[in-house]
Structure formats: structure tokens, C-alpha cells
Structure 1
């Protein structure tokens, strides 16, 4: 029984010493930050207290007074460097392991967001160009008045080219499928043309009302996150706990873009900003969009009569 108690005491002493060594190392890191920061100055008493604690624990002459002094110095340093914290210093400052610099967690996060921002932008450009090309083809075919009076064999070369390009355009989202019919009669050709135009209009409407606003909102959220990361890395205030909020912001950016697509149609007439630009701004500043929605809901609630007022109304 006695041997067991002695082992427990020895283990607890070792754990306490390890914890004190961690505090001393973190105190030295904060002193290095203060020394490198031009607007901050080192208090000689605090620096002496930290390095005195390091000397005492290495020489195994540790006392209670030394621990109290170390904690006081640690507290003063933490207050002096605020809003920078030990967690943010470790996340931004590259550590050294086995004589080599290791990429900090902040650099890995920035690379991840930068990579997927570029991917999102490229996808958005491809979808945008695909949508504009389809819109141009459908508008050109609708303007051709000869489609309603002449068979396909009598169409002009430009009209035939637009029709074939529209068929290829539709085959992209049909994964190689076609609306072609074996019947070559004039009525069948007109039905095939109508099917091509109706299908193209449906896909264009889906792209303009849902897909493009979603990607614009996502791109806006990515840009906001990158700017926030840049500012936090520059001020050494980035911590890994912010990563959860950034991931949630991407989801909310997609949602904000889709909400903009639902509320603002591309054919709403002349507007100061296009719906896609508003979707980008909604993804970038999510708080503004949801604040406006909350105010709208509160306004609707205030305009509704209360249940007590309804009960007092005469029949």
C-alpha cells in the first residue's frame, strides 16, 4: 500500500514539473514576441522571473515562491500581448522540428481555402460561359421569323448553324443524348426545334436562378474567409478554433446565394446591381442579408394583430 502511494506521488510530481516546463516555454515564446514587436517593451522583472524559473527547475531547486512568481509573470505577459494568444502564436509561427521548419497550421488552412477558391472561380466561369452561350443561341433562333414558315432545308446557313450549335449545347447536359427524330418531315423538324428551345430555356432558367447564384454566394464567402485569414495572420490572432466558423460560413454563403436567386430574378427589369452581383455580396456579407430578413420578419409580425385584439373584435 505504501509503495503504491509513493508511486502516485512521484507520478504527480513528474506531471507537475512537465506542466511548469510548458508554462516556462510558453512564457519564453511570449517574451520573444514582445521583443520582436516594435510597439511593445519587455519588463525586466517579468523577463527575470521567467528565466529564473527556468534556471530553478533545471537545477531542481524549485520552490513554491518560484511557481507563484512564474504564474504572475505569465499572467502579465498574456495581458500584454492580447489579442494575440499562445494558441494564435503557435498556429501562425512556423515551429522547428529536428532542425527543419514545419509549415504552421495557418499556412495549411490558407492553402486549402486558396486552392478551393480558385477551383470555385474556374467552375463559375465555365458555367457562366456555358449559360451565356446557350442564351445567345436561343435568342438568335427566336428572332428568326423564317422558322415558323419554312422547312429546315430552306433555312439560312446562319440559322442552321445556330440550330446545330444549340443541339450540341443541349447534348452537354444530356450527357451526349439528343432530341433527334428519325422522321424528317417538316412537322417533325419543327417539333424537334421546339423541344430543343424549351429544354434549353429550362436549363438556362435553372442555371440563372439556382446554380449561378449558389456559386456566386460561395465565391463571396471564400473571398471573405481569405481576407479574414490574411488579417488574422498579419496580426497573429488566428486560432484553429476559427476554422469551424469559416466552414459554416461557406455553407451559409451558398444558402445566401440561393436565397438571392429565389428573391431576385434575372428578368426583373433594370437594376443597379445584377442578381449575380447581389448573390456575391450576400455570400461575402452574410450578416447583412440575414439581418434584413430578420427585420422583414419582425415587421410582418408587428403588422399582424395580436390574439387578444382579435378576440375583442365584434362579430
Structure 2
């Protein structure tokens, strides 16, 4: 029984010591910000009880006073909390400043944003190169003879190599077709096959992959901007990390949704739909609010017709 009592007392001392340290840290935060004022009763209560806790001379009334003062101080500084201060402000450990959670989170999301941007630029350039070749060859029909313009032949060979890249080295036909040494029918089939394959792949990039990446990039920029504001206001906590990860997933989904509803022409590189995909990833709430309103309007329109069918059946 004596051991149990000593364990409980030690645990109580640790909790009270932690509460006193957190109270002093909140007081330091209030003192460093000119837009907040410290109530004298709260400051005296926390500091006096903290000194007693350090000397291990506190009583039950002191503990009650500390909890009461801490509660009043926490209400005063909200939405800043002790958790957000610990997550943002570096602390000294063994004489060295530690890296807070917010700093690590910003670093990781900065890396994610840069990698996403590099990947997007690579896909964008690959898309534009293939699109340019397709536009050059789209209006050209395979000739009856093997004599074709040099420019067309060069674009056709480049298109074959472009297809060779996204197909990971595989060939579209069982037999490799050469422009200089092939029959007329084989030349026409090879020309059409490579052109159709390239058009299909460019369409998939435009309708699915590019909107997804743009939506992800928009979500990442929103997260970075939100992190900057929260770090500046000392309101960031580690629990927000789950929301940020979900936001990235929803950003990808929002970008794909714009790709489904908006199927732009291949000609202008579809800057407007890609910009909408980026905005959808950045402002997910707006997109899903529009979808919710659309569903509600459909539900309201279908409700009278259902009621009319029920009345007709009953009559």
C-alpha cells in the first residue's frame, strides 16, 4: 500500500510540475506579444505556485489555484495552446536548440511541392513534344509511294521514338516498319498505328494525369500557405498533420473531377481547364460545395415527381 501511495504521489508531482512549466511558458508567450496583457492575479498565481512546486512545498489548495489560473490563461491566449507553442517554438535541450515539429513538417511539404512541380514540368514538356508531332502529322495521309516529304518523315520517326518512351521500350507492331524499306500498305498501317496510339496517350494525359497533378500541386501550395500562417500565429499542432494528408488526397480527386467534367480540345494545351484543376486542388471546399448544391437541386427536382407517382398509384 505504501508503494502504491508513493507511486501516485510521484505521478501527481510530475503532472503538477509539467502544468507549472506549461503555465510559465504561456506567460512568456503573452509577455512577448504586445497585443495581449497579463492579468496580475493569473501571473501571481502561476509564478507563486510554480515556485512552491519547484521546492516541493505545495499543498492541495496550491494545486487548485494553479489549475484555475492555467484555465483562465489558456482561455485568454486561445487559439494559441501549449501544444502549438511546443510545436512551433524551438526548445533548448542540453544547450542546443531542438527542431520543432512545425519546422520538420514545413521542410517535408516543401520537398513534396518541389518534387511535384518538377514531375509536372517533365510530364508537361513530354506532352507538348508529343502534341506538336501529332499536330504536324494529323492532317497528313500516308502516301501511295514511299517518297514522302523529309519533314513529315522526320516527324514520323520522332513520333515513333516518342511512343517508344511511354510504352517503356515496347513496339506497337510485331514487325518493325522502316520508312525507307517497306511496302506501301505496311507504311500506311504503321503510320496510322503510331498516330492513333500517340493521340490516345495524349488524351489520357490531358484528361486524367495532368489534372490530377495540377490538383495535387494546388493542395500542396494551400498546405504550405496554411502552415506559414499557423506558424506565424503559433496555432500549428501536430494533430493538423492528418488533415493535411487528407487534403492532398482530396486535391488529387478534385483535379481529376475537373478532368472528367471538362474535356478540352488538344489544340490550346488546355490552359484554362488545367488552371481550374489547380484551383480545385487549392480550394477543395468550393468544388465540393458546388457538387453538394448540384446534388441537392437534383434531389429537389426528383422529389415532386416521386410524390406525383405515389399519388397516381394510390388513386
Shorter-chain TM band: over 0.9
Q: Partners in 1 of 2:10 and 2:247 — Cα distance?
A: 43
1:303 & 1:243 partners in 2: Cα distance?
Answer: 40
The whole-number CA distance in structure 2 between the counterparts of 1:58 and 1:229 is 36
Partner of 1:175: 168
Instruction: Summarize the alignment of residues 187-198 of structure 1 with structure 2, pairs less than 5 Å apart.
Output: 187-198=185-196
Give the Å deviation of 1:47: 2.1
Deviations 1:84-118 (A, max 9, x none): 00110010011211111111000111111110111
* 2:218–2:281 CA contact under 8 A, matched in 1: yes
| Per-residue CA distance 1:8-37 (angstroms, 9 max, x = gap) | 111111111111100100001001101111
Superposition TM-score, scaled by structure 2 size:
0.92
Aligned to 2:155: 162
Which residues in structure 2 correspond to 1:267-306 (within 5 Å)? Answer: 267=265, 274-304=272-302, 305-306=304-305
| CA offsets 1:112-156 (integer angstroms, 9 cap, x no match) | 111011111111111111111111101101233xx443434x112
How far 1:306 sits from its partner (Å)?
4.8
Residue in structure 2 matched with residue 23 of structure 1 by the alignment: 19
Of the three residues 121, 126, 129, the one matched with 1:130 is 126
How many residues of Structure 1 are paired with residues of Structure 2 in the alignment? Answer: 307
Q: Is the 8 A contact 2:143 2:188 kept in 1?
A: no
Matched, 1:258 2:256: yes
2:219 is matched with 221
| 1:166-213 alpha-carbon deviations (Å, 9 max, x no partner) | 011101111122342377101101110001001001100100000000
1:39 corresponds to: 35
**2:57 matched residue in structure 1:** 61
Task: Find the residue that maps to 2:7 and give its secondary structure.
Answer: helix
Task: Note the C-alpha offset of 1:68.
Answer: 1.8
- For structure 1, list consecutive stretches of 5 or more residues without a partner in the other structure: none
Q: 1:149 aligns to what?
A: 143
Whole-angstrom CA distance in 2 between matches of 1:310 and 1:214: 42
Contact 2:142 2:191 in 1 (8 A): no
Deviations 1:207-262 (A, max 9, x none): 00000000011011101111110100000000111110110010011111111101
Paired with 1:162 and 1:294, the residues of 2 have a C-alpha distance of: 47
CA–CA separation in structure 1 for the residues paired with 2:106 and 2:89: 14
- Report whether the alignment pairs 1:313 with 2:312: yes
Closer, same or farther in 2 for the Cα pair 1:189/1:148, shift >3 Å?
closer
Root mean square deviation of aligned Cα: 1.9
Q: Secondary structure at the match of 1:313?
A: helix
Secondary structure, aligned partner of 1:79: helix
- Match of residue 245 from structure 1: 243
DSSP 3-state at the match of 1:274:
helix
Per-residue deviation, 1:268: 9.4
Q: Provide closer, same or farther for how the CA distance between residues 287 and 269 of structure 1 changes in structure 2, counting only shifts above 3 A.
A: farther
Separation of aligned partners in 2, 1:291 and 1:311: 31
TM-score (ref. length: structure 1): 0.92
Question: In structure 2, do the counterparts of structure 1 residues 22 and 283 end up closer, same or farther at CA, with 3 Å as the change threshold?
Answer: same
Cα pair distance change 1:311/1:44, threshold 3 Å: closer
